[in-house]
């Protein structure tokens, strides 16, 4: 049981390049989330998904797109990377309902540097 | 607006000493309260959570937290820290079906 995994662990991009971050969970969770973590700030929600085929915007969605074609996978895309997107990205998942009381299970993170 | 404040960016504690990490929140009602820990190079792991009832909550790894409504606080404590407790600790607050609001984190450094 791997829990939540993220690919890649680290990536360097040039401004304007695109990339996709992959998140996979094997806990049969309905809800999945993408966060970014920046120094001196708490986690900020980028997008989330309440089930296969559905996504919604979080607090800081601009510059990112997401897809949830399969229940176990949640992809985060950067179409044209900018230096402001340099951050550590965390994926998380939770059980059936997106109530705030649900425990979230986190992946190990992806460190992205945009030059 | 709702907010979560962790006033200490860094805390240094000697191994074996007691620990208290502060978390204050601004929320309209009694929210759900969480403490997560992030070990170096790892994702976040839930330490404990409070929804209602007994205001003293026990968590994993010997941690506990106390909800004080009058002070809008949910401080994390441990009576005796171990070197393996060195990590970053995040307080988070939520309500209903809204998304969590996270504090900026407190980095715990353990002195041998």
The pLDDT averaged over each successive group of 10 residues in chain B (112 residues) is 90 97 87 92 90 91 94 96 96 81 94 90
Report how many domains make up chain A.
Answer: 1
Reported CATH class of domain B3-111? mainly beta
The Cα diameter of chain B in Å comes to 43
What is residue B97's predicted lDDT score, i.e. its pLDDT?
A: 66
A88: domain CATH number is 2.60.40.10
What ranges do the domains of chain B cover?
3-111
B96 touches chain A (CB under 8 A): yes
| Stretch among A24-38, A43-57, A62-76, A98-112 having the lowest mean pLDDT | A98-112
Domain membership of residue A114 (yes or no) is: no
pLDDT of residue B100: 85
- Does residue A106 fall inside a structural domain? no
Decide if A91 is inside a domain: yes
Q: In whole angstroms, give the CA distance from residue A32 to residue B87.
A: 25
Burial of A80 (0-12, 13-18, 19+ CB in 10 A): exposed
Are residues A100 and B97, on separate chains, in Cβ contact within 8 Å? yes
Query: B58: which strand partners?
Result: B64
User: Quick one: what percent of chain A has pLDDT higher than 90?
Assistant: 83
Terminal Cα-to-Cα distance of chain A (whole angstroms): 36
Alpha-carbon distance of B31 to B94, in angstroms, equals: 6
Instruction: Give the Cα separation of B61 and A27 in Å (integer).
Output: 23
What is the pLDDT at residue A29? 92
pLDDT for A87 = 96
Give the model confidence (pLDDT) of A21-53 as tens digits. 999 999 999 999 999 999 888 899 999 998 999
Please list every residue in chain A whose beta carbon sits closer than 8 Å to the beta carbon of residue B31. 100
- Cβ distance A90 to B96 less than 8 Å, yes or no, reads no
Residue B30: its pLDDT value, please? 73
pLDDT at residue A99 is higher than 70: no
């Amino acid at each position: 049981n791997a829990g939540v995994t993220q690919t890649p662990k680290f990536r360097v991009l040039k401004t304007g390049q695109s990339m996709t971050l992959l998140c996979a969970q094997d806990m049969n969770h309905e809800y999945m989330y993408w966060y970014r973590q920046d120094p001196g700030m708490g986690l900020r929600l980028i997008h989330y998904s309440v089930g296969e085929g559905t996504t919604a915007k979080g607090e800081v969605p601009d510059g990112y797109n997401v897809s949830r074609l399969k229940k176990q996978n949640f992809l985060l895309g950067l179409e044209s990377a900018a230096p402001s997107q340099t951050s550590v990205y965390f994926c998380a998942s939770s059980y059936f309902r997106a109530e705030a009381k649900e425990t979230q299970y986190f992946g190990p993170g992806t460190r992205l540097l945009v030059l | 607006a709702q907010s979560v404040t962790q006033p200490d960016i860094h805390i240094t504690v000697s191994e074996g000493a007691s620990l208290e990490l502060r978390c204050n929140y601004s929320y309209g009602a009694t929210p759900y309260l969480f403490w997560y820990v992030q070990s170096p190079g790892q994702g976040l792991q839930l330490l404990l959570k409070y929804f209602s009832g007994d205001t003293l909550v026990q968590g994993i790894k010997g941690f506990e937290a106390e909800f004080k409504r009058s002070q809008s606080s949910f401080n994390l404590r441990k009576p005796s820290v171990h070197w393996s407790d060195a990590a970053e600790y995040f307080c988070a607050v939520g309500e209903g079906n809204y998304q969590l609001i996270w504090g900026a984190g407190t980095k715990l450094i353990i002195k041998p």
